[in-house]
Structure 1
């Protein structure tokens, strides 16, 4: 946590001082580098554990080919939750779901390929090995999956806060004290719970898939209105609670003994 917050917040403080990506290309580089704080922290922990010959945490989910089946399944489910919430919020008086701005967003990234790569690298890939792959299994040693995912979600929300003060970010456009901004920050908790469920089912690759699907769907739909954000958050919370409750105690991963590969970020 110290490394993740330290690297990210220090980088983002520089980006804030430079005015943000919308003002300075250099600020954009610091903004992007800050996203890798959790990954850097995870790598440090893994290397140190390998050098000391310590076993992986009991609740760590190691990569297995059979687990890959969960990634596309939960990717579709995560995207479907956001889509369903968008239609429900429209029925409740919110804006209609629309992909009108999707082409502009993709063009802003430089095309579909760079859109996909940018969205994966700048969020899920930079964060999930740290939050779900490293912090979550260690928290599970003393806490149940509900409490662990709730606490991690709250920490995740706090970690994102400097982004509200970096010009050119989605968070900055929403505003830190607006209803949309508050709901955006609070939505980190149910989204973290979904990612924790994905991790328990299929490891870090599956949590990356869920994180990516949620971000991509929200970006393409240009979700910013409070009513839509509130419905998405509510549906994610219900889905996460229901899914986490389906994991039986017998599903818990067994203790993993150390090996020469333990220092590699494979879970």
Structure 2
């Protein structure tokens, strides 16, 4: 299915504002004296992109943000559980290789960091997973749209390209993989997408802040984190892919749904 002209213009406008606003906010952050470990102002770029799109195409943006019908909470719970598992696997592998996997002591109160990280993550995810993902899904499907959004999300972090090429490649792998995980988990959900995506994103950020030192530009922890995220994306894709072709009148259940029914 092709994207409509309105959706093409909406996508282009959202991306232009998200990238431009992030650059301007990032340049202004030092003047605010807000520590980046608390929140990065660039995270509000996508939210501003959504705001501009909503002014230009209010009805279309409202429909996209509303999402689909409410679904079972099992996928949301598994999504939130995936975040600490991904961080734990990467941190454990880093510690085995001699890296410093011990928790660091942030300069700001942890409660403030956690609240700010959730706010910043939701400011990003209202654009990436709540607007851009459903815009691209009819054209590319859940997996293709998730990968595309993840690639754009990774490139949006332009500062990573100043690092070692392996670091940048691992970061892009991480971004695409995490986008695939969220894409499968949130596909077809309604307004709960924002809190679930924001919570998952915030847990990933907090885990990286506390247990990894990839922010220094060190290649090894980012490589390990990218591989951990890639493994999670592969598992989510496997359990979310239909077992076979569905009859026209009834969609085939995916493996995750079957697994959850077996557990019950």
TM-score by length of 1: 0.69
1:117 pairs with 115, 140, 147, which one? 115
1:132 maps to what in 2? 129
Change (3 A) 1:234 1:16: closer
Does the aligned pair in 1 maintain the 2:21–2:48 contact within 8 Å?
A: no
Counterpart among 184, 206, 212 of residue 202 in structure 2: 212
Shift of 1:242: 2.2
Cα distance between partner residues in 2 of 1:187 and 1:142: 23
Higher relative contact order (CA 8 A, sep 6+): 1
Residue 230 of structure 1 deviates from its aligned partner by 1.3
Q: Note if 1:77 corresponds to 2:77.
A: no
- Higher helix content, 1 or 2: 2
For structure 1, the 5+ residue unaligned runs are 165-170, 253-267
1:227 aligns with 2:237: no
* Uncovered stretches (5+) of structure 2, i.e. residues with no partner: 1-10, 254-264
- Give the C-alpha shift of residue 40 in structure 1: 2.8
Q: State whether structure 2 residue 50 is matched by structure 1 residue 42.
A: yes
Retained in 2: the 8 A contact 1:5–1:159? no
Distance 2:20 2:34 in 1: 12
Distance 1:155 1:184 in 2: 12
Over the residues paired in the alignment, what is the CA RMSD in angstroms? Answer: 3.5
Which residue of structure 2 aligns with residue 97 of structure 1?
101
Structure 1 segment 5-20 matched on structure 2, within 5 A: 5-14=15-24
**Paired residues, what number?**
227
Q: TM-score, normalised by structure 2?
A: 0.70
- Distance (whole Å) between structure 2 residues aligned to residue 81 and residue 205 of structure 1: 19
Query: How far, CA to CA, are the matches of 1:223 and 1:235 in structure 2?
Result: 15
Q: Is the 8 Å Cα contact of residues 129 and 204 (structure 1) preserved in structure 2?
A: yes
Q: 2:237 aligns with which of 232, 235, 244?
A: 244
Change (3 A) 1:98 1:117: same
Please give the alpha-carbon distance, in whole angstroms, between the structure 1 residues aligned to 2:22 and 2:50: 19
